[in-house]
Structure 1
Amino acid sequence: MKLKNTLGLAIGSLIAATSFGALAQGQGAVEGELFYQKQYNDSVKHVEDGFNPGASIGYFLTDDVSINAKWDRNNYTRSNDGTGSQKLRGDNFGLNAQYHFNNAGDMFRPYVEGGVKYGTLTNVAADGHSGRDQSTYLTAGGGAKLYFAENFFVRAGVEADYKLDNGKWNYMPVVGVGVNFGGGNKPAPAPVEAPAPAPEPVAEAPAPEVVRVQLDVKFDFDKSVVKPNSLSDVRNLADFMKQYPQTTTVVEGHTDSVGPDAYNQKLSQRRANAVKEVLVKDGIAPNRVNSIGYGKTRPIADNKTEAGRAANRRVEAEVEATAK
């Protein structure tokens, strides 16, 4: 079937690109797209299926919801059924809302959509005359976007138009490529509290003994889950902070150099947050732990080797206290 073949090509193109890392923008972002759709035309009789090029511009009201203005150009040929093979031209103008799943910043974001559309079609024969068909449609659809670079994406989906004039449907598999810019979801580094000034030493008293615990947790590639073999190290840090309840710590997340800067920034923050969650579950008050991601800006090993990249995929923390 033509519909299955077109859908297979669209979905196959989408899956083939999933090896690239990306950052999808969120609230306040603007998306522009060029698309191409195969229209299976059932709402007007004796009209062949067509290929419609088009463009859209959208604005994200939230991280998940965007409003989009769309235009596409009808490109049909009337079937030869005794009325002649006439060229049919027209335009469609639509407004719809898209709801995106997953999170702003994820590479892969499925969506559903719905809206309204106004369309015209020239040289349509009806009731003994030939003229312009003007129609209003309700629209619905779904698909997925793949953000293969920080500001670029590809889309594949299926849309359906319900013609209010006669209660019939048109169906369109669609593929597109677009650009995304703006948005306010890029994370800012969390503030680091300045350490309290050390008390002035008393000349007569011996210098206090300083004790210190350091933490170094390694992560798998593109993961932010604390591995079981690292949990005991994190709990040792939690036990130390329980012994010295006046202490605080800064949990610092890092990545290797693979992938876009913005994507690695978010990944390093998720790693730092994951270690903080383990500390909180082990009884440490959240206000005693500050988590911050540095992305790939602070390597400790050569990112040109696998061993070096593994060493750079880490979370570090340190707690210092004065022994009693």
Structure 2
Amino acid sequence: MKVKNALGVVVGSVLASSSLSVLAQGQGAVEAEVFGKRAFMESNRDVTDGNLFGGSIGYFLTDDVSLNLSHGVYRSIRSQDTLPGSTHGREQIDGHLSTVEALYHFGTPAAQSLRPYVSAGFGHQDLDNTFTRGDDKTTFAMVGAGAKYYFSEMFFAKAGVDVLHSLDTENTEWQAGVGVGLNFGGGSQPAPAPVAQAPEPMPEPAPVAEEPAQVVRVELDVKFDFDKAQVKEESYGDIKNLADFMKQYPQTSTTVEGHTDSVGTDTYNQQLSEKRASAVREVLVNQYGVEGQRVNAAGYGETQPVADNATESGRAINRRVEAQVEAQVQ
């Protein structure tokens, strides 16, 4: 029988594969299998139970999902009744079953591992010489479950059960079977990382008391004349002190913030505050050499007064640009 010959080829290949290590399970792998199943037929089809022998080939779309095509030939199926005029008793039924199924495998692809699976798909069955219908064809919706045991990366054995529901006659049949197969290709499994020996514990040195970090800070407060954005000569010394501090601590940065008193419209005062902040930034960057990316400028108009805008002295205090920089030193 051709199926038996195919089974012999698979078994022989298994013996030869024991020295192969380049083949592995996983995404992209191809599995070839030969199987034998016992087919339990619906009683109203006028045929006996029988055996199904065949083969399948599957492709792993992922490490867990494969798409399988199979074809099997029925043996030992006979009609339930003797055909009129026959002298040989029940007539033998010829037939075959072709399927396409998707299988979802549980567990991790590896040698010496058990991987249960569930399946679903469709099949087409063709039985010849049935007593009641002659040529009997039907299409099945199929579900199944089973398990594969991988003796190595390549060789596996399978056992499973399938339920077949006819879309033409509403009959339900089932099959139970076993198979053996080979797994070719796929992503090789990563070798386990070597376990490093833990080093001998070293005596811990006595902790060294560290001096707490100190925060140093410099602040800038530049005053402006009414409705002006020019930096006064008297303010250059304070701006230079800020620049020297930032050069001493090059990891620092700052934002110079411009403000106005309440005289004028909100829009005008906003623009004026931005001009004042930009003027101080230009002195820091262009005259005292602080990197431009370390100095930002922002204007807040008249929204953040620090004195009473109802008096001239209070308004003079509010016409300002402020900045501060701090750093931690040991």
TM-score where L is the length of structure 1: 0.50
Bigger Rg, which one? 2
> Which of structures 1 and 2 has the larger relative contact order (alpha carbons within 8 angstroms, sep 6+)?
1
TM-score where L is the length of structure 2: 0.49
